[in-house]
Amino acid sequence: MGAFNSLTYNATICLGCGECMMACAKAKSGDADRFDQSRIKIVPAGDNKFEAALCRQCGDAKCVMNCPAGALTKNAASGVVDWNADLCVSCLLCTVGCAYGSITFESSVGHVAKCDTCGGDPACVKVCKSGALGYVTTASIYNDYGKQEDLFAPGLAACQGCNSELMIRHVLRRVGRNVVVAAPPGCIPGMGTVGYNGKAGAKVPIFHPLLTNTASMLAGLKRTYERQGRDVTALALAGDGGASDVGFQSLSGAAERGEHILFLCFDNEGYMNTGMQASSATSFGSWTSTTPVGDKLQGKRTDAKNLPMVMMMHNAAYVATASSVFMEDFYRKLDKALAASKQGFAYLHLYAPCPSGWRFPASLTIDVCRLMVESNFVTLWEYTPETGLVFTRPTDKPKPLESYLKAIGKYRHLAQEQVDRIKKLLEDRLAMLKRFVR
Amino acid sequence: MQSCTYLIVGASHAGLAAADAIRMIDPASPLILASRDSHLPYSPTILPYVVSGRSKAERTALRSEAFFKEKSITFLRQAQLQSINAEKGLAHFDQGTSIRFDKLLLATGAAPSLPAIPGLGDVAFHVLRTMDDALGLKTAMKGARRALVLGAGLIGTHAAENMAEAGMTVSIVEPQMQLLPGYFDSQASSLIEKAFEGHGIDLKFGRSVASLKPGVAVLDDGQDVPFDLLLIATGVRPALSYLDGSGIRIDRGILVDERQRTNLPAVWAAGDCAQVRLFQSEGTGVAGILPMAVEQGRIAGQGMVDDEGQKPFPGAVSLNTYSFFGQQAISVGAGISGADSPGTETVLRFDEGAKTYLRLVLKEDRLVGAASVNHPLDPGILWQLILRQTDLSDVKERFLADPKTTGRLLMSRLWR
């Protein structure tokens, strides 16, 4: 059994308009006015707030366990709890099992009824104006890519909670075996990807260039393959230090020449595997071992270089930012970047919060990734010379920046004026990015 | 001799829920599921529908052979448990089969309890607890014209309805003054009785059978009731003779703690054979209803496999749904079948013309029980409100006016 798609309901933004119930009633009975036929029930909760009775398609569904007729079954392929009208005897014992009022009997309907997600295309979600109802299909990504071969060795020695390891495994699953990987010094080779104890860390050709020459070595290899008539993906898995500091010259040159490379930068805002030193990508105010907090210094004094913006200014074939929280967005961008790298230079910037270096619990990496995006600390967008910049996540209703800064130890010392400066910087940067939208 | 890690005796809801819970954690260790029946697992609750023809006997299986194969479960049919030696980990079945186990779940259910009526041994009668009973009753109905049903519980009333719908003349004899005592009060019962009487079923309340002769029952008031078919539905009780000499403690059922453990370390019991704590009253009892069997089976299975997610059984709550002649009745919790108890607050809405009834009982702003006839409720939500002892003071008026919508609102909130 894999992961399943699911309907979601966000009570805090539901307007109670009832469109979902009309759409459901229409889909199930042909008559939008038959609210009794709706399998999603929005109930008023007072103060203009609403709640919902909606089938969770439980993993260990009690309605199924309580059914004496075998009429209810958990569908192992879709995850939906299926109801079989032929077998149902209308004993209503399923309604005893459900704690959410989601499989119900209405005498006007004549049998029990529950949500079947309209076969994976729920009518209610399509008409939801507020966005309170959602249909999360991310599960299919894990199911599909879970079947692909993991091209890194098991047991890489990344720190607990590191999402870079997760993401490089995803990337190679998608890119496949026909690849040559450059992994310059940084956390990614540090965790053993290029090899350890005389064993290879990856099941594909992988090499360890100098920090300074990653993009130029990879470009040379790619050109050699092209001369041989071989279509091999040239992939760099670099850190922010290797990309934006010493490796920047070769990166900028390769982008300017339009080398057919896919360059992935995992941005953990510093040199984390060598002792958490600051890089040019380290954000303002961050504690690092080279920007300490003391009497004179209160963390990093300069703003981070925004490398994805810089790469956009190279007019590369494809430039995008992505986060491991929004995997559908990430895979869409990876596909586009892969395609673009066949004709030109593609650059993908992945935000990689570091529990060890940033000081937050290893269990919270994904939450930090989410807060980072939802507070507009970073924004998700993509750029091509043809389309200009397109935001791929809305930026108009950010969560308070403080909710993000407070989650991370490296910002614990920040004074209000430092927070204000970060706010101003983020606003200015967003305004600047918006000017690239056509 | 076969041996296994987990032996589950009984393949209805409790046994199946336990097998599922075990396989959730331990997909491989040998698991034997033994049934005294010759059929694939089925629910006793489906039997009235087999009798009526609404369910086909061959389509009532709750699990398939393919399922057992996929889950590496050995399903034994026609295995009647004879005795247990828990110390040696041995279960002895009829026909000389023995199975060695590490852990044992007894989910052997209940058997019809027969009243001591003079002459019972001389007449042919039916009970309705197994698939073979159901098929036998169905066949017998074809040649019969007059049916007599003893007992107006769920099985008796279901079967009486089926026989009336099949065109037979049906009488029910019930010592109490109403249908479904324990689940509904006399007012709710009166709505159900109307439907029964409307379909020509003769309800003889407050009476019992004094003696039986072939073809005739003599009631305690002297009346003769002739019959071609006699169904005895006067309740069920666990049949536990296999425990003689086992050292496992029993009372009305097998005594278990809140994790379904018996007094012996490797033996669990669940479902209709187990005597469990009660949620709404002191002491223990045999719950004997499907949702409780599911709960207990799952808890027992989790215990057998040392699942850290196991939560203790909070205690049995009386729960039932009852469909009759296309109408619906629901009964949840306590305080709804008799007079109001002191300290409780009751809302009663009874509309004889519309054939609707609703009774809600609260104590200290917490739900105690709810019963309805032709009034839609979400019994699963009401069960949760009772178990969680949810304080309803903020929404009390709304809840009493519209328990269905308000219940949904509360559970949507409580879930987050």
Residues A279-288: tens digit of each pLDDT: 999 999 999 9
User: What's the CA gap between A415 and B235, in Å, rounded?
Assistant: 75
List of chain B residues whose C-beta atoms are within 8 Å of the C-beta of residue A98 = 378, 380-381
- Predicted pLDDT of residue A198: 80
Lookup: tokens for A390 = 């397109």
- Predicted pLDDT of residue B386: 97
Q: Does B210 touch chain A (CB under 8 A)?
A: no
Nearest to A41 among B320, B379, B408 (CB): B408
Residue of chain A whose alpha carbon sits nearest to that of B59: A87
Both A215 and A317 in a single domain?
Answer: yes
User: Which residues in B339-377 are b (16+ Cβ under 10 Å) and which e?
Assistant: eeeeeeebeeebeeeeebbbbbbbbeeebbbbbbbbbbb
Residue B349's contacts (CB-CB under 8 Å, 6 or more residues apart) are B356, B357, B358, B359, B375
Q: How many CB pairs under 8 A join A and B?
A: 122
Q: Does B56 touch chain A (CB under 8 A)?
A: no
Give residue for tokens 């009488």. Answer: B171
**Average pLDDT value for residue range A405-416:** 97
- Predicted pLDDT of residue A199: 82
| Inter-chain CB proximity A97 and B17 less than 8 Å | no
Residue B299's contacts (CB-CB under 8 Å, 6 or more residues apart) are B21, B259, B260, B270, B310, B311, B312, B313
| Inter-chain CB proximity A99 and B384 less than 8 Å | yes
User: What's the CA gap between B183 and B178, in Å, rounded?
Assistant: 11
| Inter-chain CB proximity B55 and A69 less than 8 Å | yes
| Inter-chain CB proximity A70 and B60 less than 8 Å | yes
Nearest to A93 among B16, B321, B374 (CB): B321
Give whole-number Cα distances, B264 to B84, B89, B104, B254, B269, in Å: 12, 11, 10, 11, 11
Measured between CA atoms, how close is A43 to chain B, in angstroms? 6
Q: What is the CATH number of the domain that holds A173?
A: 3.40.50.970
- Predicted pLDDT of residue A1: 53
Region B2-110+238-304: CATH code = 3.50.50.60
Both A130 and A256 in a single domain?
Answer: no
Per-residue pLDDT of chain B (416 residues; tens, 9 = 90+): 899 999 999 999 999 999 999 999 999 999 999 999 999 999 999 999 999 999 999 999 999 999 999 999 999 999 999 999 999 999 999 988 999 999 999 999 999 999 999 999 999 999 999 999 999 999 999 989 999 999 999 999 999 999 999 999 999 999 999 999 999 999 999 999 999 999 999 999 999 999 999 999 999 999 999 999 999 999 999 999 999 999 999 999 999 999 999 999 999 999 999 999 999 999 999 999 999 999 999 999 999 999 999 999 999 999 999 999 999 999 999 999 988 889 999 999 999 999 999 999 999 999 999 999 999 999 999 999 999 999 999 999 999 999 999 999 999 988 76
| Closest of B265, B256, B236, B379 to residue B320, by C-alpha | B379
Nearest to B409 among A45, A60, A92 (CB): A45
According to the CATH classification, is domain B113-235 in 3.50.50.60? yes
Residue of chain B whose alpha carbon sits nearest to that of A59: B24
Measured between CA atoms, how close is B212 to chain A, in angstroms? 34
Give residue for tokens 């809840």. Answer: B399
Both A127 and A152 in a single domain?
Answer: no
For chain B, the structural domain boundaries read 2-110+238-304, 113-235, 334-415
Residue B282's contacts (CB-CB under 8 Å, 6 or more residues apart) are none
Lookup: tokens for A296 = 């004179």
Both A118 and A187 in a single domain?
Answer: no
Both A369 and A244 in a single domain?
Answer: yes
Both A338 and A291 in a single domain?
Answer: yes
Q: How many domains does chain A have?
A: 2
| Inter-chain CB proximity B20 and A96 less than 8 Å | no
Give residue for tokens 């666990």. Answer: B238
- Predicted pLDDT of residue A140: 82
| Inter-chain CB proximity A92 and B379 less than 8 Å | yes
User: What's the CA gap between B264 and B284, in Å, rounded?
Assistant: 19
User: What's the CA gap between A215 and A359, in Å, rounded?
Assistant: 31
Helix, strand or coil, per DSSP, at residue B209: strand
Average pLDDT over chain A reads: 95
Residue B114 is given by DSSP the state: P
Measured between CA atoms, how close is A342 to chain B, in angstroms? 45
Q: What is the dihedral of CA B88, B93, B95, B96, to 10 degrees?
A: 0
Q: Does B49 touch chain A (CB under 8 A)?
A: yes
Give whole-number Cα distances, B362 to B337, B348, B414, in Å: 14, 12, 19
Q: What is the pLDDT of residues A255-284, one digit of tens each?
A: 999 999 999 999 999 999 999 999 999 999
| Inter-chain CB proximity A99 and B328 less than 8 Å | no
Residue A129 is given by DSSP the state: S
List of chain B residues whose C-beta atoms are within 8 Å of the C-beta of residue A52 = 408, 412
| Inter-chain CB proximity A65 and B17 less than 8 Å | yes
Both A281 and A430 in a single domain?
Answer: yes
Q: Is residue A1 part of a domain?
A: no
Measured between CA atoms, how close is A93 to chain B, in angstroms? 6
Measured between CA atoms, how close is A74 to chain B, in angstroms? 12
| Inter-chain CB proximity A101 and B20 less than 8 Å | no
| Inter-chain CB proximity B321 and A51 less than 8 Å | no
User: What's the CA gap between A95 and B392, in Å, rounded?
Assistant: 22
Both A226 and A333 in a single domain?
Answer: yes
Residue of chain A whose alpha carbon sits nearest to that of B43: A68
Q: Does B376 touch chain A (CB under 8 A)?
A: yes
In B10-29, the residues whose Cβ lies within 8 Å of chain A are: 13, 16-17, 20, 24
Reported ipTM: 0.95
8 A C-beta contact, residue B6 and residue B76? no
Which of B67, B381, B406, B413 is the best substitution to test chain A (most A C-beta atoms within 10 A)?
Answer: B381
List of chain A residues whose C-beta atoms are within 8 Å of the C-beta of residue B411 = 53, 99-101
| Inter-chain CB proximity B379 and A104 less than 8 Å | no
| Closest of A280, A349, A260 to residue A308, by C-alpha | A349
**Continuous segment of H or E residues that includes residue A139:** helix A138-146
| Boundary of a domain, candidates A113, A136, A159 | A136
**Average pLDDT value for residue range A287-309:** 96
Q: Is residue A97 part of a domain?
A: yes
Q: Is residue A284 part of a domain?
A: yes
DSSP of B12-30: SHHHHHHHHHHHHH-SSS-
Q: Does B64 touch chain A (CB under 8 A)?
A: no
Q: Does B195 touch chain A (CB under 8 A)?
A: no
Q: ∠ CA(B161), CA(B166), CA(B168), 5° rounding?
A: 85
Nearest to A100 among B59, B291, B415 (CB): B415
- Predicted pLDDT of residue A142: 83
Q: What is the CATH number of the domain that holds A21?
A: 3.30.70.20
Q: What is the pLDDT of residues A39-91, one digit of tens each?
A: 999 999 989 999 999 999 998 899 999 999 999 999 988 999 999 999 999 99
**Boundaries of domain holding A90:** 6-136
User: Does residue A380 have a pLDDT over 70?
Assistant: yes
| Inter-chain CB proximity B380 and A101 less than 8 Å | yes
Pairing of the two strands A103-105 and A81-83: unpaired
8 A C-beta contact, residue A194 and residue A208? yes
Both A247 and A196 in a single domain?
Answer: yes
| Boundary of a domain, candidates A90, A107, A136 | A136
Let me know how long chain B is: 416
Which of B378, B395, B402 is the best substitution to test chain A (most A C-beta atoms within 10 A)?
Answer: B378
Q: Do the two domains B2-110+238-304 and B113-235 of this chain adopt the same fold?
A: yes
Both A63 and A180 in a single domain?
Answer: no
Q: What is the dihedral of CA A126, A127, A131, A132, to 10 degrees?
A: -100
- Predicted pLDDT of residue B266: 96
Both A361 and A424 in a single domain?
Answer: yes
| Inter-chain CB proximity A92 and B45 less than 8 Å | no
Both A294 and A348 in a single domain?
Answer: yes
Measured between CA atoms, how close is A70 to chain B, in angstroms? 5
User: Which residues in A243-255 are b (16+ Cβ under 10 Å) and which e?
Assistant: bbbbbbebbbebb
Judged on CB neighbours under 10 Å (0-12, 13-18, 19+), B195 is middle
How many beta carbons lie within 10 A of that of residue A311, not counting itself? 27
